[in-house]
Amino acid sequence: MPIIEEKVDGHLKTVLYEESPIMSTYLVAIFVGLFDYIEDHTSDGVKVWVYCQVGKANQGAFALNFAVNMVAIPDFFGAMENYGLVTYREMLLLFDEHNSSAANKQMVATVVAHELAHQWFGNLVTMEWWTDLWLNEAFASWVSYLDIDILFPEWKIWTQFLRIEVSGGLKLDGLEESHANEVDINRASESLASYIKKYASSNAKTEDLWAALEEGSDEPVNKLMNSWTQQKGYPVISVKVKHQKLEFYQTQFYLSGSQGNGQWIVPIILCCGSYDARRSFLLRNKSETLDVKEVLGCSIAKTRSSWIKVNVYQTGFYRVKYDEELLAALGYAIEKKHLSATDRFGILDASFALSTACLQSFASLLTLLGAYREIAADAVPDLLDLINQLFLGLFQYCAEKLGWEPKPGESHLDVMLREEVLIALAVFGHGPTINEASRRFHEFLDDRNTINMSNRWGYESLLRVYRETDLSEEKSRILRSLASCPDPNITLEVLNFLLTSEVRRQDASAVLSSVSREGRETAWTWLKDREHISKTWCSGFLITQIVSEIVSPLASFEKVKDVDEFFKVHCIPSITRTLKQSVEWVRIKPSGYRAFRVRKILPMF
């Protein structure tokens, strides 16, 4: 708040501020310390600052464009939307034009936009109780992407929203250990404005939002949305063709392949052969049949050019399971680039999830993957070692188009994709990529005459760079690189390094999420042998991340028993749900492998 008066009495200074607006107590923040800063003025003349460690002020210039007071803190786990003084860990706010990556620039913009959205969704209108926390977070996440799309349209952020937010949500809600949250609606923006105005500087609950949306749309919003927020999970909509009719059937989806009894009111948008031939309806029952000619004005011929896409632009939070005929036609549409990037991703993401749940043949997934070979901007989920060559072919084609060096005028997405594709090729053991990366690594260290290519040399060289750099983003990158080493002995050293004073606690999860396949067993043994870790961090957010990142990648029924027995002895109440979800992931993987072996796709191992 603006300063009213300052009084100095010897060594005592008293500062009086204007009275703050009505706010929840969790939004009050005061910081005292030695900070550097960069300042500017908003379009209407209000002065704003970005505070940071001394010597890093210029790195706050990019975030300052968002016009609000913010502070970068070295020891901080994420970001917090405090009223008038938003706080961030350094790598989520600071951006170095010369050393930061395109991915980091996007992350800074998205996180800052998220926290600013909270000034309305969470600060101005606060949830009545923590059971309605999603009112804060869901809207802030959605609005942040809306803002970024306006500010940086060239980033095509909505295609990334699908991959980052929607796909991630579908995976988590596909677990039996998920939990409940508590349409395209006309005049939604006016209804939201009315909701914000009515509950400004007070509390609201989920039903208040549905009432505002229903009043502004004359749609059964409350009934529709209750089916989504008051039960866990989501449906898979099975679609098949029979005598020129489309048959829809909904069941609850679980990645484990289990059968649930949930039922939803599902908004369905579909098109036939073109996005111009589109139809929408609400699937209110378990099943429904539509006449294709009557509804979409087209007929389904037994040709690959006659395709039907359900959940157009992936606007619905559900998966779609097509029969073989429809899926083959969609493969042709993907190959010919008739579908949008969001729809291409949605089809592949669903196909992978359905195969994991043993609801679709693995052979169908492999056939579908062939249609994506020339589509550089689409993400491909990672599969099994036994199909390395297939993925090497997919990624290599993309890498050859992108190259190692930036190209004049290339898109923001291509810059980000280059890093992802080259990392994927290295992970899958592509020799030329690994050799070129090693060569560039030597150049980076300014040590061209060195011929030592051992893991030990790489570890010690990167560790030296880690200790020399002051850029938090660079430190995080190096830690992830160290953890990805396939040598279990190096993995153990990196894990022990996490416990030293040289590594900030908030950086630990980035390291654990990067542990190589070869190092997963080492990481699990490390955690079991150091039970004091859980005692030290059991009251914080970090132990939840540690358990999730170490347990989830394990993949055998024996490990399920091992994990269960360990945490029965070393019980940590705060991680109960995370532990159950992580163990469910461990169970899902061997179940999928077993199903593939039964189909004689994978050998026994």
114 annotated as belonging to a binding site for a ligand: yes
Q: Are 215 and 233 in contact (CB under 8 A)?
A: no
The answer to whether residue 460 is catalytic is no
Residue 403 neighbours by CB distance under 10 Å: 12
Angle between helices 431-444 and 412-427 (to 10 degrees): 110
Residue 459 neighbours by CB distance under 10 Å: 19
Q: Is 198 helix (H, G, I), strand (E, B) or coil?
A: helix
Catalytic-labelled residue, pool 6, 81, 90, 115? 115
215 annotated as belonging to a binding site for a ligand: no
Q: Which residues contact 71 (CB under 8 A, 6 or more apart)?
A: 31, 35, 50, 51, 52, 85, 86, 87, 88, 93
Measured distance CA(33)–CA(599) in Å, rounded: 63
- List, as one string, the DSSP characters of 444-489: HTT-TT-----HHHHHHHHHHHHHH---HHHHHHHHHHHHT-S-HH
Q: Is 25 helix (H, G, I), strand (E, B) or coil?
A: helix
Q: Which of 577, 597, 605, 588 is nearest to 553 (CA)?
A: 588
6 annotated as belonging to a binding site for a ligand: no
Structure tokens at 94: 């600071």
User: What ranges in 472-575 are assigned the alpha helix state H?
Assistant: 472-483, 488-498, 508-512, 520-529, 532-537, 541-551, 557-569
- Which residues are designated catalytic? 115
- State the binding site: 114, 118, 137
Indicate the annotated binding residues for Zn(2+). 114, 118, 137
